[in-house]
């Protein structure tokens, strides 16, 4: 027998005999004959493994990955931070990779403890009391935070800063069609949210306020004002934080966040064409019974030894069904374990150092780039690891020209950020970018816009 | 009832329980469930931490070393770095390697966890996912840099459509539940576009919990229909709840009892007659892949769990991937942007497209892309015939186990099953006090993962077994021996107490779940 099944033909015959059947087809007698595929699937014949590797290798060869030949200055929620061999090696241990959700804690202490450590690390990074075991990505975490906020505040008006990643805002809108939340866009002014631009009275009073820190343009938002808006309206404050920037920035908890969400890709995951990434979710203990997804807690075993288990399970879909806090079942556990390993590798000094070096590189690059004739700052607000500029040419044109020079120049900004123009470019610079790379990049931009 | 077991259970101080025979060899399946070395608990990363120790090393960049004060305004600066942990690389490797030794996995042994399809995950798929040409591509890179990736996605979509009998698919949903909610929003978009405001979605009482939870998030009310004596949807009861307020029905076929819904054509007809849509929960597709297609049964919307049927590793609880395929009439509503073939022929060209009717994005980017690449690799290696063999052998293994264990446990629905079988410990519990949970814990110390227990909810003391096609006859025999031994031990004097104390030979003994919920310790800092 082909594939990965061990059955020999003799064994199949024996097993069929045990069942009183004469052919494998007899196993499907319960399926109405008319429904069964007569001629099989119209798919190519199976390949051998080496042929499949060659085929997929050819497809991979048609891509331009980030690296020496395409130096990455793109971010927008996906960053080219260092992923050391030790993280890759530990995170690919098959015990972590090939296990299921830890339903039997006695044989799942490895994953459970790693997730418990992940929760602790995220709680420390955000300053919050509790973090869950992961959600799909930053967008999914934001959707869940909004659902929690609406349930906690009892009001379904949701103010969403336009500084929140635009694709996350699109995901919020998609899922809002089901939950019926009323999403209100709050505009930016000079790179930061202008909270008094929207009406907070009567039926428009928000139940949830969502803001990103730093925001999509890389700017540092005034979270004290965001908190005050929430205090005045009784809304829940959801802060979309950046786990690397958190190495040097005030924690969301210090700013008074009720729920903190984020994209955890920067904590040890390769760019991966956008997934699998890691949705981060943290909140206060006051909200823990509304927490979406899994939560690992410490307990003891029958002999009194420390042990870990999935807990507060009564929130979850398999028990509460239609009354569950969320429908999430499979999450991104392996990515949470990866992030725990990466945060262990970084440690207290490393997370601060990566943030500081990224900020240095970003400011160095921004200053240089603004020296290119025709390149203007989009906003003046302080930035950390990402910034936006306006170009003298359409950004997609410049990006294509830079690809030929070996640079992924950034992301073309949605025209909503540039008063309808297509000249906005979002540039991210991580600790992996060298002075030589940045100088060459700025030279290439200079030639491309000439 | 003589020789000690292979796990060194007696040395481990597990009392006087005796494992009765030297177990059969089980090439693919049996594992010592004791940790590789010792039974001590592993300290946390935080207890291993030593101030000043570090593992990180970063590139030398030559960038001027501006101080943080000159980069970040004071109001935004933290007073001190967040306290994570301070360990060396060697500490880190030791810690996570020891944790891995406290973790059961498919690579270690058989994992007959019903409804989860814990089959072997071919290593070739991991090797492909690690190719830099796939793993290091930025998701916002222009299509000129991602032609290979776009082709991967389009080819996967095409194969999934052929497998399901559907017209097009979105690959964005990151897991099955995300696919369900996407499907319900598609259902809503369809009815909206046809000027219909409907409020109810029907689900059987045997459904996975994600179904009703997704229905609520989709803005619908759940209407539950009971199963009949044969374990299938009660057609008369279904007809009684169907009206023009029903948006659709969510079904798993084969259902969670492992039984094929034989009346599916009649069910589809009845739902379509009131203008409802049929949603197929693909959790159990492994039973029928290559044999029968949801589209041919009458389904309109199908989600697939690539981490089940198509063997992408489950990662201890994710990442998964839950693509949603739809019939022709629903294609315009699919989430966008979708990867599309723009120009065929000698120089094919791929790009992205979004329809005006699209429900919008359901993922930050393009879905769990590396999971999708693994699934395509699996499909390439198998081909159409190989997939059919997968289903045949999965069903063969499940029926073999069901038949072999029929004399040991109750079989609530005693007829041929598909890829999984549901047994019951009901009689065993009445006779001995040993519950399904105890059976599950005893199996752990026999070197196998437990089946799913207490699900589906309509079966008392349920034991749901899904051996999958990648376990050998020898492994099934060893597993069946273990089940029989567990049942036999239960009737011995003291057997019930012993079972209630199981497992003995695992990294930790039975875990106090009630205490974890009562005295919540969700972080290391909460212990202080």
What is the C-alpha separation between A363 and A164, in angstroms, rounded?
22
Q: Which pLDDT does position B369 carry in this prediction? A: 98
B428-466 pLDDT per residue, tens: 999 999 999 999 999 999 999 999 999 998 999 999 999
Same fold, A71-83+348-448 and A86-342: no
Contacts of B512 in chain A (CB under 8 A): 299-302, 307, 309
- B251, β-bridge pairs: B280
Buried b (16+ CB within 10 A) or exposed e, B235-246: eebbbeebeebb
Q: Cβ A348–B71 below 8 Å, yes or no?
A: no
B134 and A129 within 8 Å at the Cβ level: the answer is no
- Interface check for B81 against chain A (CB to CB < 8 A): the answer is yes
Is A406 at the interface with chain B, CB within 8 A?
A: no
Reduced to 3 states (helix: H, G, I; strand: E, B; else coil), residue B50 is coil
Report CB contact under 8 Å: A101, B128.
no
Q: How far is B430 from chain A (nearest CA, A)?
A: 24
**Residue A39 contacts B where some CB pair is shorter than 8 Å:** no
User: Quick one: which of A312, A101, A314 has its CA closest to B450?
Assistant: A101
pLDDT score at B30? 80
Q: What pLDDT shows up at residue B498?
A: 95
* Structure-block tokens of residue A160: 């969403």
Digit-coded pLDDT (tens) for B30-70: 877 566 666 789 999 999 999 999 999 999 999 999 999 99
Chain A residues close to B294, C-beta within 8 Å: none
Q: Do A363 and B66 touch (CB under 8 A)?
A: yes
User: Residue B199: CA atoms inside 13 Å, Cβ hemisphere, count?
Assistant: 3
Asked if B6 and B478 touch (Cβ cutoff 8 Å), the reply is: no
Task: Tell me which chain B residue has its CA closest to the CA of residue A116.
Answer: B523
State whether A321 and B315 contact (CB < 8 Å).
no
> Residue B430: how many CA atoms within 13 Å on its side-chain side?
6
Phi and psi at residue A122, to the nearest 5°: -70, -40
What domains are defined for chain B?
Answer: 1-42+109-120+385-528 (3.90.1150.10), 149-367 (3.40.640.10)
Within A40-91, residue ranges assigned H as helices are 49-61, 85-91
Beta carbons within 8 Å of B464's beta carbon, 6+ residues apart:
B114, B115, B256, B258, B420, B421, B422, B423, B451, B452, B453, B455, B456
Helix (H, G, I), strand (E, B) or coil at B470: coil
Enumerate the residues of chain B whose CB falls inside 8 A of the CB of residue A37. Answer: 290-293, 296
- What's the CA gap between A176 and B246, in Å, rounded? 21
When pLDDT is cut at 50, 70 and 90, the band that residue A1 belongs to is: very low
For residues A101 and B305, give the distance between their C-alpha atoms in angstroms, rounded to a whole number: 14
- Out of A30, A327, A333, the one facing B315 most closely (by C-beta) is A333
Six-digit token string for A135: 């959600």
**B403 contacts in chain A (CB < 8 Å):** 18-19
- Comparing CA positions, the residue from A143, A142, A146 lying closest to residue A155 is A146
Tokens of B148: 């290979």
Q: What is the ipTM of this complex?
A: 0.98
| Residue B53: per-residue pLDDT | 97
- Asked if B191 has any chain A CB less than 8 Å from its own CB, the reply is no
Q: Residue A275 is nearest to which of B140, B146, B365, comparing CB atoms?
A: B365
Residues comprising chain A, all counted = 450
What would the mean pLDDT of A89-112 be, rounded to a whole number? 97
Please check whether residue B209 is in contact with residue B115, taking contact to mean a CB–CB distance below 8 angstroms.
no
A217-242 pLDDT tens trace: 999 999 999 999 999 999 999 999 99
Q: Do B404 and A52 touch (CB under 8 A)?
A: no
pLDDT score, position B25: 79
Cross-chain CB nearest to B381 (options A46, A274, A298) = A46
Rg for chain B, CA atoms, rounded: 26
Q: How many CA atoms lie within 13 A of A116 on its CB side?
A: 34
Please give the structure tokens belonging to residue B353: 């497209």
A393: left (phi over 0), alpha (psi -120 to 50) or beta: beta
Q: What is the pLDDT of residue B21?
A: 53
A-chain residues within 8 Å CB-CB of B142? 396, 399-400, 403
Residue B270 to residue B285: CA distance in whole angstroms: 23
pLDDT tens-place string over residues B249-299? 999 999 999 999 999 999 999 999 999 999 999 999 999 999 999 999 999
Token digits of residue A366 = 């921004």
CA distance B3 to B463: 28
Taking only the tens place, the pLDDT of each residue in A338-391 is: 999 999 999 999 999 999 999 999 999 999 999 999 999 999 888 899 999 999
Percent of chain A with pLDDT over 70: 100
In A154-289, where does DSSP find H-type helix? 166-179, 223-233
Cβ proximity of B97 and A95 under 8 Å: no
**Class of domain A71-83+348-448 as given by CATH:** alpha beta
CB B390 within 8 A of CB A10: no
Say whether A95 and B222 touch across the interface (CB within 8 A). Answer: no
Q: What is the pLDDT of residues A393-448, one digit of tens each?
A: 999 999 999 999 999 999 999 999 999 999 999 999 999 999 999 999 999 999 99
**Domain range summary for chain A, segments of one domain joined by +:** 71-83+348-448, 86-342
Interface test with B, best of A1, A3, A51, A282 (most B CBs within 10 A): A3
Model pLDDT for residues B215-256, shown as the tens digit of each residue: 999 999 999 999 999 999 999 999 999 999 999 999 999 999
Closest by CA position to A125, among listed B69, B528, B80:
B80
Give the pLDDT band of residue B3 (cuts 50, 70, 90). very low
Average pLDDT, chain B: 93
The pLDDT value given to residue A203:
86
Q: Answer yes or no: do B96 and A361 touch at CB < 8 A.
A: no
Q: What SS3 state is found at A301?
A: strand
Q: Looking at chain A, which residue has its C-alpha nearest residue B105?
A: A99
State the Cα–Cα distance between residues B276 and B464, nearest whole angstrom: 31
Q: What CA–CA distances, in Å, run from B116 to A348, B106, B126, B527?
A: 38, 12, 20, 34
- The 10s digit of each residue's pLDDT in A188-212 is 999 999 999 998 888 889 999 999 9
| B164 Cβ neighbours under 8 A, 6+ residues apart | B280, B282, B293, B294, B295, B299, B302, B304, B325
Q: Report the residue from A273, A303, A361 with minimal CB separation from B139.
A: A273
Judged by a CB distance cut-off of 8 A, whether residue A248 touches chain B is yes
**Burial class of A67 by CB neighbour count within 10 A (0 to 12, 13 to 18, 19+):** middle
Q: With 90 as the cut, is the pLDDT of residue B7 above it?
A: no
Q: How many CB pairs under 8 A join A and B?
A: 744
**How many residues in chain B?**
528
C-alpha B311/C-alpha B372 separation (Å) is: 11
What pLDDT does residue B33 have? 59
Number of H helices, E strands in chain B: 17, 12
pLDDT in tens, B394-403: 999 999 999 9
Q: Does B438 touch chain A (CB under 8 A)?
A: no
The pLDDT score that the predictor gives to residue B34 is: 65
Q: Are A148 and A325 in contact (CB under 8 A)?
A: yes
C-beta neighbour count of B519 within 10 angstroms: 14
Residue B222 touches partner A, C-beta closer than 8 Å: yes
CA atoms within 13 A on the CB side of B317: 31
The confidence band for B344, taking pLDDT boundaries of 50, 70 and 90, is confident
Domain over A86-342 is classified CATH 3.40.640.10: yes
% of chain A surpassing 90 pLDDT: 93
The contacts of residue B288 (CB under 8 Å, 6+ apart) are A28, A31, B253, B254, B260, B391, B418
CA neighbor of B307 nearest in space, from B283, B341, B329:
B283
Cα–Cα distance for residue pair B177/B184, rounded to 1 Å: 11
Task: Calculate how close chain A gets to B237, using CA atoms only, in Å.
Answer: 20
Inter-chain touch B366–A274, beta carbons under 8 Å:
yes
pLDDT at B13 over 50: no
- Contact with chain A for residue B31, Cβ under 8 A: no
List chain B residues with CB under 8 Å of A131. Answer: 522-523
Chain A interface disruption, residue of B480, B516, B525, B528, most A CBs within 10 A: B516
């Amino acid at each position: 027998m082909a594939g990965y099944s061990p059955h020999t033909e003799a064994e199949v015959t024996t097993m069929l005999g045990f069942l009183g059947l004469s052919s494998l087809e007899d196993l499907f007698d319960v399926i109405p004959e008319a429904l069964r595929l007569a001629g099989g699937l119209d798919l190519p014949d199976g390949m051998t493994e080496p042929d499949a590797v060659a085929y997929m290798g050819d497809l991979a060869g048609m891509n331009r990955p980030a690296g020496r030949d395409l130096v990455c200055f793109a971010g927008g929620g996906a960053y080219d931070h260092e992923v050391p061999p030790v993280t890759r090696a530990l995170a690919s241990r098959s015990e972590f990779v090939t296990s299921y959700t830890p339903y039997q804690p006695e044989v799942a202490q490895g994953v459970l403890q790693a997730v418990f450590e992940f929760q602790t690390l995220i709680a420390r990074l955000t300053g919050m009391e509790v973090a869950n075991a992961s959600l799909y990505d930053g967008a999914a975490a934001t959707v869940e935070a909004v659902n929690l906020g609406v349930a906690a505040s009892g009001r379904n008006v949701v103010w969403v800063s336009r500084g929140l990643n635009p694709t996350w805002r699109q995901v919020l809108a998609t899922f809002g069609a089901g939950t019926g939340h009323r999403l209100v866009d709050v505009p930016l002014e000079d790179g930061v949210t202008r909270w008094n631009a929207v009406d907070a009275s009567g039926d428009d009073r928000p139940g949830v306020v969502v803001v990103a820190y730093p925001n999509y343009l890389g700017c540092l938002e005034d979270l004290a004002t965001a908190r005050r808006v929430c205090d005045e309206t009784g809304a829940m404050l959801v802060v979309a934080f950046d786990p690397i920037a958190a190495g040097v920035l005030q924690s969301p908890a210090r700013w008074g966040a009720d729920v903190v969400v984020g994209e955890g890709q920067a904590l040890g995951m390769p760019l991966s064409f956008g997934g699998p990434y890691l949705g981060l979710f943290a909140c206060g203990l006051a909200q823990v019974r509304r927490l979406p997804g899994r939560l690992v807690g410490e307990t003891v075993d029958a002999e009194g030894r420390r042990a870990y288990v999935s807990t507060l399970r009564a929130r979850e879909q398999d028990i509460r069904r239609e009354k569950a806090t969320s429908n999430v079942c499979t999450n991104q556990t392996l990515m949470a374990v990866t992030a725990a390993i990466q945060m262990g590798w970084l440690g207290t000094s490393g997370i601060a150092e990566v943030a500081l070096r990224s900020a240095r590189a970003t400011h160095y690059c921004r200053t240089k780039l603004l020296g290119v004739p025709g390149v203007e700052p989009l906003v003046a607000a302080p930035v950390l690891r990402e910034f936006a500029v306006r170009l003298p040419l359409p950004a997609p044109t410049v990006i294509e020209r830079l690809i030929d020079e070996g640079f992924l120049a950034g992301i073309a900004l949605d025209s909503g950020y540039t008063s309808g123009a297509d000249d906005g470019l979002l540039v991210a610079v991580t600790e992996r970018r060298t002075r030589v790379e940045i100088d060459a990049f700025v030279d290439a931009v200079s030639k491309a816009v000439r | 009832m003589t020789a000690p077991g292979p796990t060194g259970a007696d040395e481990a101080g597990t009392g006087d329980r005796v494992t009765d025979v030297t177990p059969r060899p089980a090439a693919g399946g049996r594992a010592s469930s004791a940790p590789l070395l010792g039974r001590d608990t592993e300290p946390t990363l935080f207890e291993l931490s030593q101030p000043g120790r570090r593992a990180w090393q970063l590139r030398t960049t030559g960038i001027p070393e501006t101080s943080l004060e000159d980069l970040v305004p004071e109001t935004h600066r933290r007073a001190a770095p967040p306290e994570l942990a301070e360990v060396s690389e060697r500490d880190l490797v030791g810690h996570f390697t020891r944790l891995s030794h406290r973790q059961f996995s498919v690579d270690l042994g058989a994992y007959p966890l019903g409804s989860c399809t814990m089959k072997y995950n071919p290593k070739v798929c991991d090797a492909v996912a690690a190719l830099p040409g796939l793993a290091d591509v930025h998701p916002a890179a222009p299509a000129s840099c991602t032609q290979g990736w776009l082709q991967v996605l389009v080819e996967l979509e095409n194969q999934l459509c052929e497998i399901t009998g559907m017209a097009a698919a979105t690959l964005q949903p990151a897991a099955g539940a995300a696919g369900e909610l996407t499907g319900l929003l598609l259902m809503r978009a369809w009815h909206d576009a046809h000027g219909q405001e409907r409020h109810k979605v029907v689900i059987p009482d045997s459904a996975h919990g994600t179904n009703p939870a997704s229905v609520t998030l989709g803005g619908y009310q759940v209407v539950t229909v009971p199963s009949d004596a044969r374990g299938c949807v009660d057609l008369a009861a279904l007809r009684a709840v169907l009206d023009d307020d029903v948006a659709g029905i969510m079904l798993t076929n084969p259902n969670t009892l492992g039984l094929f819904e034989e009346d599916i054509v009649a069910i589809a007809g009845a739902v379509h007659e009131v203008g409802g849509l049929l949603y197929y929960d693909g959790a159990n597709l492994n039973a029928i892949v290559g044999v029968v297609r949801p589209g041919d049964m009458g389904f309109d919307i199908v989600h697939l769990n690539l981490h089940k049927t198509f063997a992408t590793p489950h990662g201890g609880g994710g990442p998964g991937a839950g693509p949603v395929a739809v019939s022709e009439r629903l294609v315009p509503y699919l989430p966008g942007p979708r990867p599309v073939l723009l120009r065929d022929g000698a120089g094919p060209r791929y790009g992205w497209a979004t329809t005006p009717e699209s429900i919008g994005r359901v993922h930050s980017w393009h879905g769990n892309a590396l999971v999708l690449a693994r699934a395509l690799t699996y499909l390439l290696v198998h081909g159409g015939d190989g997939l059919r063999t997968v289903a045949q052998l999965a069903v063969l293994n499940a029926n073999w186990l069901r038949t072999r264990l029929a004399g040991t446990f109750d079989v609530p629905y005693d007829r041929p099953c598909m890829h999984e079988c549901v047994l019951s410990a009901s009689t065993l519990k009445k006779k001995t006090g040993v519950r399904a949970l105890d059976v599950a814990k005893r199996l752990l110390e026999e070197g196998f993962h437990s089946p799913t227990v207490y699900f589906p909810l309509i079966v008392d003391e349920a034991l749901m077994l899904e051996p999958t096609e990648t376990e050998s006859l020898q492994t099934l025999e060893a597993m069946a021996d273990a089940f029989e031994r567990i049942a036999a031990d239960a009737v011995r004097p003291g057997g019930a107490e012993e079972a209630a104390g199981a497992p003995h030979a695992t990294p930790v003994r039975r875990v106090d779940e009630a205490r974890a919920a009562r005295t919540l310790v969700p972080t290391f800092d909460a212990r202080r």
